[in-house]
């Protein structure tokens, strides 16, 4: 049995059929408006960045991979292994094991130093709390964001890796850029 | 009877809150009952009377014009106190600011950071800023106060806690405050290292990071660690401890206050010997002797070797257990021996017949540890508490100092408690039985001159001791060294003493033994690890084919003889090394060499294990174990695993069960708690006990209804008469002692190593002069063809005619000498 619509069916009211000029505008008008934007951009040249040959510059306060710092004058590590960064870390990705400086093995400026300093970057959420917690500005968030690797264990960064200068510098965005 | 104070309850108002508190409690404590915290630094009830040094606890009391220190003001009925008023707040902020003037604020490098009362109080009650811009005072830091403790004087807030501990609790009088004002600093008087048996407690007392533990220094921060409650098994005190654990390693041991056990203190052995859990020397895999050398093998091979050797030696096997064994381990091993291998020959290292221990283990005679503090008179008999049961030493000192307990000492060796005692009496080594006879005569009012002389004591002193015991008040607690029970008529003497002083059934009086078998000596006996006794001190049924042997023929002494003669072929050592204990060394050395199989559960290759064991199972440390222990006063306490298994160690109970299975006996134990359950079912006076009931604080079985199940000891058999005092004939009488530091775990712990003793012979200056010996000279001490090398130590208080040698030092121990009379000659 065929379905019969009930009284609820409302008839669609259509617009009056367009004339010739109206029809033309409806066919090409909006398209031309879009093309105007397109052609206007041609003179600007391409903006595609050829990653990885070319890198996106980051803002100065970009929170990338962490860096540990040394004092420039003495070469001693700024980190004293206080473990406050580990306490502040919401992802629980920092592990610090401290040890005591001895006169013949002075590593940091304080009484203690970090014998083990590891950040598990596969866990890190890059919140920057460690940087905020650090009483000696020993750890800061760097600009490196190329962190992919082939195994999870390689993503545990040791103290030596964090202290070393990054192999390639990430370009910084210039003012007004 | 001197009743323990039962305070009256009063009501006072604090911050508008009506709070009920015991009268004369200090305001700081009373406020806590109303959930109000008054900040303190120097106040610590464990240290005795408050000193009010830090001024942090200032409060306003209506009716008193000036602010008062809450820690030293007793609360009175109707008192109205304000802790939140403007005046109080200003004062608190001023005190914090003042304390921080010279505090270096090096919290990031300070070990206390994160668990520091100064941090907490500055955060909670401080002003948040300082007006002080001048340079701070500086000291050289960090310095070694002792090899165990580092001191940072800049951080010190001069609260006096450590000094009070040294002066009033440990009474070693070493720590003092030198100089004045801002230049004051804590030090020993002439800057020698603070080395004392209880020094580590000041680390825990320090409210700032001024005193820190060197072994724990910079190992972890409070948010890196977890705490795990357990019980220390290094000595019979069985102090309650919290183990600090990081990455499955024990990094620190802290006290877990228990007024009935340790009173919140720890000795340095308990505090620092945790290092022995993680040293390289520790055995962590099964070893089997192969070609004359112990080699690491897989578990399967070790179990197979042990099981087949045990099966071969069926009926010809003996077992020895050391004091670190839990009740469950001892219980299961006893079952394996009796049910699986048909051997009744099991014993501890005590060297005392269990029938004698049974006589004195009666619940009606049992004193508690806290009774030592509240008694009228305490008699220490044949024991040096600081070596045998260190925490009890502090308890006795506390009783004498704060409650004026009359302390009497009757020992053969001079004691460190001599200065605190009303009467310190000496008898000759090995003459406890004769001495107790003389004391009984004196108590009965008879002449004791001759019997006292037979014990090498002075008659007048014995009479004075009797007088003190009789008239000093009815609550008498006798702390006796269990090893003296091996002496003739010592049990009889103690029982007579108890009945003459009417100690039976009296609350707050009684006797407390220092177990001779080690930390869990009492538990081993109660779990049935004793010759002729089953679980719960029930005599073994006569059905066994070995029952015609008396207990003495089953015991450790006969065991050595049996092994030497070939009557026994195998011996099972559960945390026991007969060569490291007080047993006769030459005899056991020969016995172990003759045994065809020696199976050992051991953590370290001590001499007996290293040279004689054929199969060694790696033993668990107390931090890995689960099980129960019995304190010398009958308190069952629980061990709980704090860390995972180290290396390939396996729980002892599981190894024993596995061996039993391979010998054809199913012990029916699959988990630790199942072993506990079996034990509780087997011991009548533990009936219906559960691990939950024991919990974290332990439970004394004497206080449970099931205590009625304690089997009444049979009438005392006639004991051998007390040993006659041998005629000196120019020789010297030998006494022995075991120092708190003469232990394997001390020797292997890097931090404690420096305390491990070398053999020294303590003698009276008069004897030394007669023999032409000087202090520090190396001598040979010999008796009946055996001799040891030792250094002469002159002690004024040593009675002339006696010398004392140390035990637990391997080949140079006192037990290497065969004979009670020795000669001392220059080496």
> Least CB-CB distance to B218: which of A84, A100, A135?
A100
């004062």: which residue's tokens?
A: B91
pLDDT at B94: 95
Residues whose CB falls within 8 Å of the CB of residue B324, separated by 6 or more in sequence, listed in order: B233, B234, B518, B519, B520, B575, B622
Q: Is B22 helix (H, G, I), strand (E, B) or coil?
A: strand
Q: Note whether A83 contacts B218, CB cutoff 8 Å.
A: no
Q: β-strand B17-22 against B9-14: which pairing, if any?
A: antiparallel
B505, B533: one domain? no
- For A96, nearest residue in chain B (alpha carbons): B220
CATH of the domain at B242: 3.30.70.20
The CB density around residue A28, as the number of other CB atoms within 10 Å, is 11
Residues whose CB falls within 8 Å of the CB of residue B69, separated by 6 or more in sequence, listed in order: B50, B52, B55, B57, B58, B59
The closest of B198, B263, B232, B230 to B519, measured between CA atoms, is B232
């079996």: which residue's tokens?
A: B678
Tell me which residues of chain B have a C-beta less than 8 Å from any C-beta of chain A.
106-109, 113-114, 142, 217-221, 223-224
**What residues in B contact A98, CB-CB < 8 Å?**
218-219, 221
Its domain, for residue A89, covers: 66-163
B681, B802: one domain? no
| Inter-residue contact A125 to A163 (CB < 8 Å) | no
Model ipTM over 0.95: no
Q: Is B766 helix (H, G, I), strand (E, B) or coil?
A: helix
Distance from CA of B214 to the nearest CA of A (A): 10
Distance from CA of B218 to the nearest CA of A (A): 5
pLDDT at B545: 53
Between CA B236 and CA A68 the distance in angstroms is 50
Q: What angle do CA B245, B605, B574 make, to 5 degrees?
A: 80
Q: β-strand B699-700 against B635-639: which pairing, if any?
A: antiparallel
Between CA B363 and CA B97 the distance in angstroms is 56
| Inter-residue contact B754 to B404 (CB < 8 Å) | no
**What residues in B contact A135, CB-CB < 8 Å?**
107-108
Distance between the two ends of chain A, CA-based, in angstroms?
Answer: 70
CATH of the domain at B328: 3.40.50.740
Query: Is A116 domain-assigned?
Result: yes
B64, B168: one domain? no
B543-587 pLDDT tens trace: 455 545 666 678 888 999 999 999 999 999 999 999 988 888 999
- A137 interface with B at CB cutoff 8 Å: no
Q: Note whether B224 contacts A110, CB cutoff 8 Å.
A: no
Residues whose CB falls within 8 Å of the CB of residue B548, separated by 6 or more in sequence, listed in order: none
Between CA B424 and CA B419 the distance in angstroms is 8
Between CA B59 and CA B34 the distance in angstroms is 15
B129-181 pLDDT tens trace: 889 899 999 998 889 999 999 999 999 999 999 999 999 999 999 999 999 98
What tokens does B384 get?
Answer: 């040096």
Query: Is A44 domain-assigned?
Result: no
Query: Is A100 domain-assigned?
Result: yes
Distance from CA of A128 to the nearest CA of B (A): 19
Query: Is B115 domain-assigned?
Result: no
Between CA A30 and CA A164 the distance in angstroms is 56
Residue to substitute from B114, B140, B142, B218, interface A, most A β-carbons within 10 A: B218
B625, B753: one domain? no
DSSP B420-462: G-SEEEE--TT-HHHHHHHHHHHHTT---HHHHHHTT--HHHH
Q: How many structural domains does chain B have?
A: 5
Could you give the C-alpha distances from B786 to A10, B759, B773, in angstroms and in order?
A: 121, 15, 21
Q: Is B783 helix (H, G, I), strand (E, B) or coil?
A: strand
**What residues in B contact A81, CB-CB < 8 Å?**
218
């309850």: which residue's tokens?
A: B9
Residues whose CB falls within 8 Å of the CB of residue B577, separated by 6 or more in sequence, listed in order: B322, B600, B602, B606, B607, B608, B609
Query: Is B129 domain-assigned?
Result: no
Could you give the C-alpha distances from B152 to B179, B212, B260, in angstroms and in order?
A: 16, 8, 34
What residues does B477 pair with on adjacent strands?
Answer: B378, B510
Q: Is B700 helix (H, G, I), strand (E, B) or coil?
A: strand
Query: Is B336 domain-assigned?
Result: yes
pLDDT at B746: 95
Query: Is A45 domain-assigned?
Result: no
What tokens does A111 get?
Answer: 């009484």
Burial A158-171 (b: 16+ CB within 10 A, else e): ebebbbeeeeeebe
Q: Note whether B108 contacts A80, CB cutoff 8 Å.
A: yes
Distance from CA of B213 to the nearest CA of A (A): 13
B315, B416: one domain? no
Residue to substitute from B105, B106, B109, interface A, most A β-carbons within 10 A: B109
**What residues in A contact B114, CB-CB < 8 Å?**
87
B472, B613: one domain? no
What tokens does A37 get?
Answer: 């934007």
Q: Note whether A87 contacts B142, CB cutoff 8 Å.
A: no
Q: How many structural domains does chain A have?
A: 1
Residue B51 DSSP symbol: -
Between CA A150 and CA B638 the distance in angstroms is 48
**What residues in B contact A83, CB-CB < 8 Å?**
221, 223-224
CATH of the domain at A128: 3.30.70.3270
Distance from CA of B114 to the nearest CA of A (A): 9
Residues whose CB falls within 8 Å of the CB of residue B727, separated by 6 or more in sequence, listed in order: none
Answer positive or negative: Cα dihedral of B308, B311, B312, B317: positive
Q: Note whether A112 contacts B109, CB cutoff 8 Å.
A: yes
| Inter-residue contact A148 to A139 (CB < 8 Å) | no
Last residue of a domain, one of B84, B101, B117: B84
Residue to substitute from B108, B139, B151, interface A, most A β-carbons within 10 A: B108
**What residues in A contact B155, CB-CB < 8 Å?**
none
DSSP B504-537: TT-TT-EEEEE-TT-TTHHHHHHTT-BTTEEGGG
With a cut of 70, which residues of chain B have pLDDT below it?
1-3, 5, 542-552, 726-728
Phi and psi at residue B474, to the nearest 5°:
-85, -20
Q: What angle do CA B698, B699, B700 make, to 5 degrees?
A: 130
Q: What angle do CA B444, B494, B728 make, to 5 degrees?
A: 90
Q: Note whether A82 contacts B218, CB cutoff 8 Å.
A: no
Its domain, for residue B769, covers: 732-826
> Least CB-CB distance to A82: which of B113, B142, B219?
B113
Is residue A177 predicted with pLDDT exceeding 70? no
Query: Is B722 domain-assigned?
Result: no
Query: Is B670 domain-assigned?
Result: yes
pLDDT at A126: 96
A62-89 pLDDT tens trace: 999 999 999 999 999 999 999 999 999 9
**What residues in A contact B106, CB-CB < 8 Å?**
110-111
B328, B264: one domain? no
Q: Note whether B217 contacts A86, CB cutoff 8 Å.
A: no
Residues whose CB falls within 8 Å of the CB of residue A9, separated by 6 or more in sequence, listed in order: none
Looking from the CA of B51 toward its CB, the CA atoms found within 13 Å total 17
B533, B677: one domain? yes
Is residue A61 predicted with pLDDT exceeding 60? yes
How much of chain A exceeds pLDDT 90, in percent?
A: 58
CATH of the domain at B747: 2.40.40.20
Residues whose CB falls within 8 Å of the CB of residue B249, separated by 6 or more in sequence, listed in order: B277, B278, B643
Long-range contacts of the stretch B753-759 (C-beta < 8 A, 24+): B754/B147, B755/B195, B755/B268, B757/B806, B757/B809, B758/B791, B758/B809, B758/B812, B759/B788, B759/B789, B759/B790, B759/B791, B759/B805, B759/B806, B759/B809, B759/B812, B759/B813
What's the gap between Cα B256 and its chain centre? 15
Query: Is B474 domain-assigned?
Result: yes
Q: What is the dihedral of CA B345, B349, B354, B358, to 10 degrees?
A: -140
B695, B766: one domain? no
> Least CB-CB distance to B108: which of A82, A86, A97?
A82
Query: Is A25 domain-assigned?
Result: no
Burial B684-716 (b: 16+ CB within 10 A, else e): bbbbebebeebeeebbbbbebebbebbeebeee
Query: Is B303 domain-assigned?
Result: yes
- Secondary structure element (H or E) that encloses residue B163, with its range: helix B161-164
DSSP B362-409: -GGGBPPTTHHHH-SEEEEES--HHHHSHHHHHHHHHHHHHH-PEEEE
The CB density around residue B737, as the number of other CB atoms within 10 Å, is 22
Residues whose CB falls within 8 Å of the CB of residue B720, separated by 6 or more in sequence, listed in order: B488, B489
């Amino acid at each position: 049995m065929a379905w019969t619509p009930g009284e609820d069916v409302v008839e669609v009211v259509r617009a009056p059929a367009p004339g010739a000029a109206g029809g033309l505008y409806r066919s090409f008008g909006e398209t031309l408006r879009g093309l105007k934007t397109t052609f206007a951009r041609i003179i600007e040249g391409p903006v595609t960045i050829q990653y990885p040959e070319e890198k996106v510059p980051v803002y100065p306060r970009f929170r990338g991979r962490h860096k540990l710092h040394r004092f420039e004058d003495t070469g001693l590590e700024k980190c004293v292994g206080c473990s406050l960064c580990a306490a502040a870390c919401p992802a629980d990705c920092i592990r610090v094991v401290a040890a005591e400086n001895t006169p013949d093995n002075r590593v940091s400026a304080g009484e203690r130093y970090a014998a083990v300093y590891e950040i598990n970057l596969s866990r890190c959420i890059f919140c920057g709390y460690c940087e905020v917690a650090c009483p000696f500005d020993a750890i800061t968030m760097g600009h490196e964001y190329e962190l992919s690797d082939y195994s999870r264990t390689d993503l545990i960064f040791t103290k030596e890796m964090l202290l070393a200068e990054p192999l390639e510098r990430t370009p910084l965005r210039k003012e007004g850029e | 009877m001197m009743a323990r104070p039962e305070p009256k309850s009063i009501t006072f108002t604090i911050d508008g809150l009506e709070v009920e508190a015991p009268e004369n409690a200090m305001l700081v404590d009373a406020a806590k009952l109303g959930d109000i915290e008054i900040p303190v630094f120097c106040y610590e009830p464990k240290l005795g009377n408050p000193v009010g040094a830090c001024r942090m606890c200032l409060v306003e009391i209506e009716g008193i014009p000036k602010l008062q220190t809450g820690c030293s003001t007793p609360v009175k009925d109707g008192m109205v106190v304000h802790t939140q008023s403007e005046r109080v707040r200003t004062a608190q902020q001023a005190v914090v600011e003042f304390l921080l003037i010279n505090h270096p604020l090096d919290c990031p490098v300070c070990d206390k950071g994160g668990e520091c009362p100064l941090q907490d109080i500055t955060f909670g009650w401080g002003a948040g800023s300082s007006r002080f811009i001048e340079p701070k005072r500086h000291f050289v830091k960090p310095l070694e106060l002792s090899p165990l403790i580092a001191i940072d004087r800049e951080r010190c807030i001069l609260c006096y806690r450590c000094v009070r501990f040294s002066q009033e609790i440990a009474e070693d009088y070493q720590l003092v405050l030198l100089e004045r004002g801002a230049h004051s600093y804590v030090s020993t008087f002439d800057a020698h290292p603070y080395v004392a048996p209880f020094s580590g407690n000041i680390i825990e007392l320090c409210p700032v990071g001024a005193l820190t533990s060197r072994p724990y220094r910079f190992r972890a921060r409070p948010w890196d660690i977890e705490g795990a409650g357990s019980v220390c098994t290094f000595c019979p005190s069985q102090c309650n401890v919290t183990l600090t654990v990081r990455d499955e390693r024990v990094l620190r041991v802290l006290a877990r206050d228990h007024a009935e056990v340790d009173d919140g203190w720890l000795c340095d052995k308990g505090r620092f010997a945790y290092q022995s859990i993680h040293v390289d020397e520790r055995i962590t895999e099964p070893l089997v002797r192969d070609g004359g050398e112990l080699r690491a093998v897989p578990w399967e091979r070790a179990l197979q070797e042990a099981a087949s050797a045990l099966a071969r030696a069926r009926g010809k096997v003996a077992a020895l257990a050391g004091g670190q064994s839990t009740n469950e381990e001892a219980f299961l091993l006893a079952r394996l021996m009796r049910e699986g291998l048909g051997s009744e020959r099991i014993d501890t290292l005590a060297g005392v017949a269990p029938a004698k221990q049974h006589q004195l283990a009666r619940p009606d005679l049992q004193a508690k540890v806290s009774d030592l503090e509240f008694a009228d008179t305490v008699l220490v008999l044949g024991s040096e508490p600081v070596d045998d049961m260190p925490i009890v030493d502090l308890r006795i000192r506390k009783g004498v100092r704060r409650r004026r307990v009359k302390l009497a000492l009757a020992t053969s060796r001079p004691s460190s408690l001599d200065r605190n005692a009303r009467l310190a009496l000496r008898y000759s080594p090995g003459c406890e039985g004769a001495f107790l006879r003389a004391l009984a005569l004196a108590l009965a009012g008879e002449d004791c001159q001759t019997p006292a002389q037979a014990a090498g004591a002075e008659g007048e002193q014995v009479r004075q001791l009797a007088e003190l015991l009789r008239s000093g008040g009815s609550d008498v607690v006798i702390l006796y060294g269990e090893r003296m029970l091996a002496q003739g008529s010592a049990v009889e003497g103690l029982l007579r003493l108890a009945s003459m002083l009417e100690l039976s059934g009296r609350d707050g009086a009684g006797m407390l033994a220092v177990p001779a078998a080690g930390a869990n000596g009492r538990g081993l006996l109660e779990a049935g690890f004793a010759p002729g006794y089953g679980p719960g001190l029930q005599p073994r049924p006569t059905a066994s084919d070995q029952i015609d042997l008396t207990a003495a023929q089953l015991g450790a002494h006969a065991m050595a003889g049996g092994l030497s003669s070939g009557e026994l072929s195998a011996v099972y050592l559960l945390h026991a090394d007969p060569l490291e204990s007080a047993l006769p060394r030459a005899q056991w050395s020969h016995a172990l060499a003759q045994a065809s199989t020696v199976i050992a559960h051991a953590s370290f290759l001590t001499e007996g294990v290293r040279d004689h064991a054929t199969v060694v199972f790696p033993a668990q440390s107390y931090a890995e174990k689960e099980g129960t222990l019995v304190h010398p006063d009958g308190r069952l306490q629980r061990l709980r695993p704090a860390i995972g298994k180290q290396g390939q160690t396996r729980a002892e109970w599981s190894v024993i069960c596995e061996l039993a299975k391979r010998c054809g006996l199913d012990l029916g134990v699959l988990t630790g708690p199942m072993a506990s359950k079996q034990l509780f079912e087997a011991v009548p006076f533990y009936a219906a006990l559960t691990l939950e009931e024991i919990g974290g604080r332990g439970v004394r079985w004497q206080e449970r209804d099931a205590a009625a199940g304690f089997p009444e000891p049979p009438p005392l058999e006639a004991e051998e008469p007390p040993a006659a005092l041998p005629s000196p004939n120019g020789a010297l009488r030998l006494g022995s002692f075991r120092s708190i530091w003469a232990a394997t775990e001390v020797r292997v712990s890097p931090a404690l190593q420096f305390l491990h003793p070398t053999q020294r012979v303590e003698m009276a200056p008069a004897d030394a002069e007669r023999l032409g010996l000087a202090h520090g000279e190396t001598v040979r001490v010999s008796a009946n063809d055996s001799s040891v090398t030792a250094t002469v130590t002159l002690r004024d208080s040593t009675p002339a005619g006696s010398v004392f040698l140390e035990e637990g030092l391997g080949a140079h121990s006192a037990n290497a000498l065969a004979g009670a009379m020795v000669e001392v000659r220059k080496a």
